[in-house]
Amino acid sequence: MKTSKQTKEAASSRNSFSGRIGYVLAVAGSAVGLGNIWRFPYLAAKYGGGMFLLIYLLLMVTFGYVLIVSETALGRMTRKSPVGAFHAFGKSLPFHFGGWTNAIVPMLISPYYCVIGGWVFKYLVEYLKGSVNQLASDDYFTGFIASSGTVQLWFVLFALLVFFVILAGVKQGVERVSKIMMPILVLLAIFVAGYSITRPGALEGVKYFLIPNLKDFSWMTVVAAMGQMFYSLSIAMGVLYTYGSYIGKDVDIEKSTTQVEIFDTGIALLGGMMIIPAVFAFSGGDLSTLQAGPSLTFITLPKIFASMGAGTLVGIAFFLMFFFAALTSAISLVETSVSSIEDEFHWSRPKCCLLMCAVMAVVGTLSSLGYGVLDFVQIFGMAFLDFFDFLTNSIMMPLAALSTCILIIRVVGFKKIAEEIEISSRFRRKKLYIFFLKYLAPVCIGIILISSIANVLGFISL
Ligand code: PHE
């Protein structure tokens, strides 16, 4: 049994954020990444533009809010990352399941995240070499993605960089640089979005992105929007438990949640504004690019840059910032995975990194080659990268989120969560919180989960 003095010491040695601002910046650094500039625009383009946006926003202020607050509060209450946090309340099978579904998600996302990070890296280097016009040509991306050796090379380089930063202990340095880069990324994104929406024909795209149209609604819109909300806000993957375990009891959890949500969504909106109107402007009437999926950002941004006066310069600057945003998020994903392994198995750090390297090599290689030499392998009609993305976002994250909801409803109780939040501030949206968590969240997550599984197995068509 720990004495209260020991507990206090343990708590304070785990406090590594300097107050709320430090915490908000750290979470925002993890939240803002490929999700905002790569994933959000392609999903919004594909799944109904304004309708997708509306559903995304609704989900974010309800589920997203409830889940961020819950995970952070549980992390701060138990001072543990997800597996430990679930174990703090029980050791039977459901607790293992809940903790581990949260912990395994980042292990599965990290590899394909680094594959996309590799694409960004490759494009940055191409802009540095001055290939602004080649990159904008119609089949550059398709050619690149099919050349397996090249894709694999950039994936490995990006992944090595991530491990290097983690093992060499220069993470702080990278995060400091990225804090300078992030405001520049925002300014650049505003500039590019401004340029993009003023192109002839782009207005149609702005309308498509911002105005919801009922005819664009499908269940897939809801499934995709929910997965994206988890992904972009780093929910249901153990990250917020871990971050919550590092914050002091003085941090206002509700207020920081709101700030992180505003920041992350703002950048996703900018991502959409840069890319979707440009698809309309540069398509020459053929809107099939809207369905392009993961390649959309890489096809569209180069076209925008090539049409600008100083395209090379803007391309270099943009991809440099984009690269840093991806790097900090990848570091946070790999770091979370490594620390879950460390916490549970009590192995040395290099050994944990080695295990993560192995997972990375297998899952990452499959993802990177899935559009090239391995394109004959399709899992439920998806290439490897799309499959891992679907598996984590549409199946495992809903399961992880559901586990958190059940843990609170059945075991921890609202009272304890409320007490945890009220240590630092009034619990302003307490009634809303209880209502969503108790009634809406489990039912909706359940429906989404079942319908996405049924969809992929071909029982229903969403
Ligand atoms: N939220 C990040 C993004 O949008 C992805 C991420 C998830 C990063 C979890 C770190 C931890 O790109």
Q: How many CB atoms lie within 10 A of CB 97?
A: 14
CB 84 within 8 A of CB 10: no
Distance (angstroms) between ligand 1 centre and the Cα of 57 equals 18
Question: Could you give the CA distance from residue 202 to residue 276 in angstroms, rounded to a whole number?
Answer: 8
Residue among 233, 332, 392, 397 to mutate when testing ligand 1 (max atoms within 8 A of CB): 332
Residue 169 has phi, psi (to 5 degrees) of 70, 25
Which parts of the chain register pLDDT below 50?
1-13
Which tokens belong to 337? 């995975």
Rounded Cα distance, 329 and 341, in Å: 19
**pLDDT value, residue 15:** 54
Q: Which atom of ligand 1 is nearest to the CA of 106?
A: 9
Choose among 371, 300, 359: nearest CA to 334.
359
For residue 365, the tally of other CB atoms under 10 A from its CB is 19
Dist. CA 68–CA 404, nearest whole Å: 11
- Nearest protein Cα to ligand 1, atom 2: 31
Supply the pLDDT for residue 6.
Answer: 43
Q: Which of 112, 265, 321, 333 to mutate to test the pocket of ligand 1 (most atoms within 8 A of CB)?
A: 333
**Structural contact between residues 188 and 181, judged by C-beta atoms closer than 8 angstroms:** no
Please state the length of the chain: 462
Please write the tens of the pLDDT for every residue from 396-407.
Answer: 999 999 999 999
pLDDT of residue 11: 43
Domains defined for the chain, CATH in brackets? 13-457 (1.10.4160)
Q: Which pLDDT score is estimated for 374?
A: 87
Instruction: Quote the Cα angle for 327-332-335, to 5°.
Output: 120
Beta bridge partners of 379: 382
Q: Which residues contact 400 (CB under 8 A, 6 or more apart)?
A: 98, 101, 102, 105, 236, 237, 238
Say if CB 178 and CB 326 are below 8 A apart: no
| Contact of 146 with 372, CB cutoff 8 Å | yes
Q: Is 227 in the pocket of ligand 1 (CB under 6 A)?
A: no
pLDDT at 14: 56
Residues 6+ apart with CB under 8 A from 222: 55, 448
Nearest atom in ligand 1 to 38's CA: 12
In this prediction, residue 178 carries a pLDDT of 73
Which tokens belong to 137?
């040509």
Is residue 68 lining ligand 1, measured as CB closer than 6 Å?
A: no
Instruction: Please give the backbone phi and psi of residue 330, each rounded to the nearest 5 degrees, phi first.
Output: -65, -40
Handedness of CA 204, 210, 211, 217 (dihedral sign): positive
**3-class secondary structure, 189:** helix
Question: How far does the centroid of ligand 1 lie from the alpha carbon of residue 331, in Å?
Answer: 10
Give the C-alpha distances (Å, rounded to integers) separating 235 from 247, 319, 382, 440. 17, 26, 24, 17
Distance (angstroms) between ligand 1 centre and the Cα of 234 equals: 5
Query: Coil, strand, or helix at residue 249?
Result: coil
SS (H, E, C) the chain: CCCHHHHHHHHHHHCCCCHHHHHHHHHHHHHCCHHHHHHHHHHHHHCCCHHHHHHHHHHHHHHHHHHHHHHHHHHHHHCCCHHHHHHCCCCCHHHHHHHHHHHHHHHHHHHHHHHHHHHHHHHHHHHHCCCHHHHHCCCHHHHHHHCHHHHHHHHHHHHHHHHHHHHCCCHHHHHHHHHHHHHHHHHHHHHHHHHHHCCCCHHHHHHHHHCCCHHHCCHHHHHHHHHHHHHHCCCCCCHHHHHHHHCCCCCCHHHHHHHHHHHHHHHHHHHHHHHHHHHHHHCCCCHHHHHCHHHHHHHHHHHHHHCCCCHHHHHHHHHHHHHHHHHHHHHHHHHHHHHHHHHHHCCCHHHHHHHHHHHHHHHHHHHHHCCCCCCCCCECCECHHHHHHHHHHHHHHHHHHHHHHHHHHHHHCHHHHHHHHHCCCCCCCHHHHHHHHHHHHHHHHHHHHHHHHHHHCCCCCC
- What is the number of the ligand 1 atom nearest to the C-alpha of 233? 1
**Percent residues over pLDDT 90 in the chain:** 63
The CA-atom distances, in angstroms, between 203 and each of 38, 207, 210, 373 are 21, 6, 11, 39
Q: Residue 198 is encoded by which pair of tokens?
A: 């003023």
Question: What pLDDT score was predicted for residue 18?
Answer: 66
Look up tokens 């945890």; give the residue. 420
Matching residue, tokens 């050796």: 149
pLDDT digits (tens, 9 = 90+) for 134-176: 999 989 999 999 999 999 999 999 999 999 988 887 667 677 7
The DSSP line for 127-147 is HHTT-HHHHHSTTHHHHHHH-
Measured in Å, residue 55 CA sits from the centre of ligand 1 at 20
